[in-house]
Structure 1
Amino acid sequence: MPAKKSPRNNGKAKTALPASVESRIKASYPELPESERRIADLILEFPGEMAAYSATELAELSGGSKAAVTRLVQRIGFATYDEARRAARDAQSWGSPLYLMARETKKTGFSDRVRAHIEQDVQNIAFTLEGLRGDSFNEMVTSICQARRVFLLGYRNSHYLAGYARWQIIQGRGDVYLLPAAGETIAEEIADFTAEDVLIVVGFRRRLSQVPQAMAAAAAAGARIVYITDRAAAPSPHATWTLPCAVRGMDLFDRYAAAMSLLHFLCVAIVEELGKEGRTRLQRIETLHEDLHDFD
């Protein structure tokens, strides 16, 4: 006997809803009544408002009603407003600038803005470096110095930070590589990883799915892994050492001053640990710069 068709979907397969709040609203927007559309317009412009306000407050901001807010969130697939608000908070933790943008920002003078900017970066640097454990940090530095090869992996903004670190480390030791190279995949590199290699992963939000996958593959090959990431990241079971870094401030973009300071601190420690070997390599490099007329 054939199964009865559900009266709600007339037997049609249920389409999976998009994950984000704004994507769900956009998918349902043409069918929204005017009372819900006013609320939807506010959320689409500033999705992070859902994380900050109750249903009543959001209704007041949009000129709608609490009942309309409830109908809207249920229409887009959430059981309650609190469930929708948790999704917005998750997006903030994930690092979406759209969800970190405030509807109203406090107007201040230029000098006050400069001072606040400096204070936020200083706080992040202090919070990051003061959280380091000396024994673990020294063990990690020694491992990087003694490794057969060192690889640095990063995507998006993290790729530039990984490139900076690679350029500093290579002053003191050879066989330091940046992944992924332009137009390349990384499977070919990971295929040759051994327990003698170290992989430094710079993985700040928003992280691509390739990051945990690459870490899992590298760990399976026996490589030791240094994971430099933001404090909102979930712990990685594949990381040998994890260096959490403070990147948040009061504005919508993440701040990387602490990340650069941490990488600088790490690279200086590596070159110092290399000792005479590192200094000899650096001297050879400087001689070659002169011979090749690299700089004016």
Structure 2
Amino acid sequence: DRVCDLLADEKRKIYVIGGRMSDTLALHLSRHLRQIRSKVFHVPADPEIWPEYLLRMHTRDVLFIVDFRRYQSSLSTLAQKAIEARNVQVVLMTDQWLSPISRQASEVLAVPIDSGTLWDSYTGALALLEALLTRIAEENWEQTKTRIEQWDSVRMDFGEHKDD
């Protein structure tokens, strides 16, 4: 509930970033969340660009980080700077072993990723993101519906097909 409330609060800007492999989940979240509400930004993986995003952040904004094992120390540094310099709320999606960012985050979503094979599975993480998005969209469906209709209308101006 708390994470959904943070992500749905239109007074807050939402910044989303993931690790080397998990950024695909972060991108998925940011693309869908942008259709539900405004002021959602996917932070690029390149740390050279991060100062621009840090300078945009303000108190009460949310930095949503997806960080699974083989944790990236650069993401931990970003979280620390965002908290200390900008006083943002950090929401972390991580695995059952908990990213070091969990010590700094105001909210932690831990999901199992061990698949019993050489590869970790992000299926549970994707399902959780989909559940969060659904709850946020349905919480204020009329506003969400209007934004999606406007989004699709603008997309069509660029030659995109409505059924994509």
TM-score (norm 1): 0.50
> What does residue 254 of structure 1 align with?
120
> What does residue 206 of structure 1 align with?
70
Structure 1 regions of 5+ residues with no counterpart? 1-137
The 1-side partners of 2:140 and 2:80 are apart by: 29
Shift of 1:181: 5.3
Aligned to 1:186, what secondary structure does the other structure show? helix
Aligned partner (choices 144, 162, 168) of residue 7 of structure 2: 144
> What does residue 55 of structure 2 align with?
191
Shift of 1:184: 4.2
Residue 178 (1) aligns with residue 42 (2):
yes
Describe the superposition over 1:125-172 as per-residue Cα deviations: whole angstroms up to 9, x where unpaired.
Answer: xxxxxxxxxxxxx12211211143100011211111100111110111
The 1-side partners of 2:160 and 2:18 are apart by: 28
> What does residue 277 of structure 1 align with?
143
The 1-side partners of 2:89 and 2:98 are apart by: 19
TM-score (norm 2): 0.87
Matches within 5 A, 1:49-64: none
Aligned to 1:225, what secondary structure does the other structure show? strand
> What does residue 225 of structure 1 align with?
90
Between 239-248 and 170-179, the greater mean CA deviation after superposition:
170-179
Specify which structure has the bigger relative contact order, considering alpha-carbon pairs within 8 angstroms and separated by 6 or more residues.
Answer: 2
Identity %: 26
More strand by share: 2
CA contact 2:15–2:40 (8 Å) conserved in 1: yes
Aligned partner (choices 20, 30, 38) of residue 156 of structure 1: 20
Question: Which amino acid in the other structure matches residue 223 of structure 1?
Answer: V
Matches within 5 A, 1:233-244: 233-234=98-99, 236-244=102-110
Between 248-257 and 266-275, the greater mean CA deviation after superposition:
266-275
CA contact 1:172–1:274 (8 Å) conserved in 2: no
Aligned to 1:251, what secondary structure does the other structure show? coil
Aligned to 1:177, what secondary structure does the other structure show? strand
Question: Which amino acid in the other structure matches residue 240 of structure 1?
Answer: S
Label 1:225 to 1:183 Cα distance change in 2 as closer, same or farther (>3 A): closer
The 2-side partners of 1:151 and 1:206 are apart by: 22
The root-mean-square deviation of aligned C-alpha atoms, in Å, is 1.9
CA contact 1:142–1:273 (8 Å) conserved in 2: no
